[in-house]
Structure 1
């Protein structure tokens, strides 16, 4: 039951209306039931994995706190050392043994489901809630937070359905704190509902009008690249940059909109990534919950940039290598991560170039690495590069399976998203502008967006709504 399915269209209004009617702590119970029901539609076995992971993590957190050899780090220590152990967080004794054992268990389970060669499918959301669990345990172990004693609260923290399938990878200081204070959340605030509903609607547009339409030519060319020329390969590679952006950002906007209507504020995951002028800047804008997780729980514990340039370079490569293999089993995912690591080591941020040129160079670099990310194997990557070098011509444009009108819609969608990001970068907030209009204008805008989704979101014989891309990771 994905966010774009008819089943979810019936599921969420019921969950939301009942939630609004319930008092206090009963809201948490209802949301946990709804979240488990949501995941259960993908398969009961996936629900069993989540419940098992939740129980182990909660028990481990309680054990770490009750061990008694961990002191709280103050905010200054945390900012200076990240998760590096210090005099305030001892790295020996039973707590360390429990911490290491449970982290190994989580990583082993993730690797088993993700990299096994049998027909066992990857449980929905496993990569996301596993990283969330590891981050929670690391925070408890290092004393930056207290363990959650209420199992209901922690179970909801792990299972909260808006962020369950594709994140964001939440932190206990954000989502868990809101769950602990669920009685005070302003779920009935009309202004919050309007803002959240508009964000949900925009996410639907990103996914159904842009990402899924771009998927048609991208899938056609990448699945049979030998039938196309180099021009088509480069064209769909550029398009893929917008497909994965609108797909993943669309999911995040929908998740934040759904959570917002329930009174929760999820972490933002994107900040106009193609406006970046360096690799480092890109990762401050793209998949923020993952990049900050890798920084706090991999890069900084390895030593960060505190031990010289060579060690910094090694730490960066390890961190981006972890990012690569988190995304998938193929060697091309690892290569994609390492390319970003090399790009950050030899970053262009200090080059004396106009900012627009840096942005252009960055987009070309990011887009080239998206090709590595998108291919099915290194063999396919080699074959596609060979086609580009030896057959750079337009060979079978019709084989990309879009009609003229659909190409127009695709280009318009990309232009709208790009213009929105450029204007947002300059400080203009579209959502705020819309919400400031009178009721008639707002209704016209809402009607136009809904109409576009209903009419153009199902346009064309080759068109079909696909699953969100990051679900597979």
Structure 2
């Protein structure tokens, strides 16, 4: 039951309306039940993995606090020592054991050669669990004592499948203050609903249409010339952006209608003027997680240039392996690490030129990310350098009108990002129009989704790309 399915069109309004009618703390129970039901729609077998992860993490957090690493224990003792000084062998042992458990479980499901599938959302809620435990272990956050609160923190359905990877200081704190969430605020509901609608447009009008020629070329690259391969690769940059950003906007819109504020995940990434800047704009919840829980603990940039380079490569190697099991994912991560080590930030070039160079680098690495194997990558590169001409443009499976819609969609996204970069907010502009103008805009967007959106058989839209990671 993805966000773009007809089933979700029934599921969410029911969940939302009941949620609005319930008194404060009963909302936790209702949202947890809804979140578990949402996960079970993908397969009831996935629920056991989430519940197991939740119980282990919750229990470990309480154990770490009891052993003296949490802020509560520090306050009770009245000591002024740092959180680091309150650690001991037992707390380190518990923390290490539980982190190893989570990493081992994730690796088992990702890398096993049997027919056991990776549970939906496991990559995201595992990293979220490790981040939570690390904060408790460091003494920068208290353990959550209420199991229902923590279970909802892990399972909250808007962010369950593809993130963002939430922090306890953001989502868990809002769950604890559920009584005071502005769930019935009309202005919030309007803003959130518009964000949800824009996410639908990104996914169904742009990303899924781009997926048609991209999938055609990448699945049968030998039938195409180098021109089509390059075109498909450029298009893929916008497919993955609109797909993942579309999901994030839908997730944030859905959560916003429930009164929650999820972390933002994107900040106009293709306007970056360095690879480092790109990762300050792309998948922000993952990049900040890697920074706080991998890169900085390794030493960050504090131990010299060589150690910094090693730390960057380790961090982005982990990022690559988190995304997938093939060696091409590891190569993709390492290339981004190299791109950060030899960054162009200080090059004496116009900013516009830097942005073009960075986009070309990012897009070239998207080819590494998108292929099925290193063998396919070699074949596609050979196709570019030895067969650079149009060979089967019609085989990309879009008609003239479809290409026009695709190009207009990409131009719209580029225009929105460019204006947002300059401080112009489309949502604010729309919400400031009068009621008639707003209704016309909403009707136009909804009509575009219904009439021009790309739907599969029986209106089952294609899955979100990051669900598989």
Structure 2 stretches of 5 or more lacking a match?
75-80
1:235 aligns with 2:227: no
Residues 225, 177 of structure 1: alpha-carbon distance in 2 compared, 3 angstrom cutoff: same
State the match for 1:36 in structure 2: 36
Structure 1 residue corresponding to 2:133, chosen from 122, 134, 137: 137
Map Cα deviations across residues 399-440 of structure 1 (whole Å, 9 max, x no partner). 000011000000000000000000000000000000000010
Structure 2 residue corresponding to 1:443, chosen from 439, 444, 458: 439
CA contact (8 A) 1:227 1:396 kept: yes
CA contact (8 A) 1:71 1:88 kept: no
Map Cα deviations across residues 286-325 of structure 1 (whole Å, 9 max, x no partner). 0000000000000000000000000000000000000000
State the match for 1:124 in structure 2: 120
State the match for 2:90 in structure 1: 94
CA contact (8 A) 1:217 1:236 kept: yes
Structure 2 residue corresponding to 1:306, chosen from 280, 290, 302: 302
State the match for 2:358 in structure 1: 362
Residues 267, 209 of structure 1: alpha-carbon distance in 2 compared, 3 angstrom cutoff: same
Runs (4+) off by over 6 Å: none
The CA RMSD measured in Å over matched residues stands at 1.7
Deviation of 1:90 (Å) = 4.4
Deviation of 1:336 (Å) = 0.2
CA contact (8 A) 1:71 1:89 kept: no
Within a 5 Å distance, the mapping from 1:98-177 to structure 2 comes to 98-177=94-173
Within a 5 Å distance, the mapping from 1:67-466 to structure 2 comes to 67-68=67-68, 88-458=84-454, 465-466=461-462
Residues 72, 89 of structure 1: alpha-carbon distance in 2 compared, 3 angstrom cutoff: farther
Map Cα deviations across residues 177-234 of structure 1 (whole Å, 9 max, x no partner). 0000000001110100000000000000000000000000000000000000000000
CA contact (8 A) 2:274 2:354 kept: yes
Map Cα deviations across residues 217-256 of structure 1 (whole Å, 9 max, x no partner). 0000000000000000000000000000000000000000
CA contact (8 A) 2:42 2:120 kept: yes
Cα distance between partner residues in 2 of 1:212 and 1:320: 28
CA contact (8 A) 1:70 1:88 kept: no
CA contact (8 A) 2:196 2:250 kept: yes
Cα distance between partner residues in 1 of 2:407 and 2:359: 18
Residues 10, 366 of structure 1: alpha-carbon distance in 2 compared, 3 angstrom cutoff: same
Deviation of 1:93 (Å) = 1.6
- Is the partner of 1:127 in helix, strand or coil? helix
Deviation of 1:464 (Å) = 7.1
CA contact (8 A) 1:332 1:377 kept: yes
TM-score by length of 2: 0.97
Deviation of 1:44 (Å) = 1.1
1:47 aligns with 2:47: yes
State the match for 1:2 in structure 2: 2
Cα distance between partner residues in 2 of 1:100 and 1:86: 20
Deviation of 1:88 (Å) = 3.5
Cα distance between partner residues in 2 of 1:403 and 1:460: 17
Cα distance between partner residues in 2 of 1:460 and 1:150: 42
TM-score by length of 1: 0.96
Cα distance between partner residues in 2 of 1:224 and 1:95: 53
Residues 285, 440 of structure 1: alpha-carbon distance in 2 compared, 3 angstrom cutoff: same
Structure 1 stretches of 5 or more lacking a match?
75-84
Cα distance between partner residues in 2 of 1:169 and 1:320: 17
CA contact (8 A) 2:69 2:136 kept: no
Cα distance between partner residues in 1 of 2:417 and 2:112: 40
CA contact (8 A) 1:72 1:89 kept: no
Residues 323, 34 of structure 1: alpha-carbon distance in 2 compared, 3 angstrom cutoff: same
CA contact (8 A) 1:28 1:153 kept: yes
State the match for 1:79 in structure 2: none
CA contact (8 A) 1:277 1:358 kept: yes
Most deviating of 174-183 and 86-95: 86-95
State the match for 2:62 in structure 1: 62
Deviation of 1:465 (Å) = 2.5
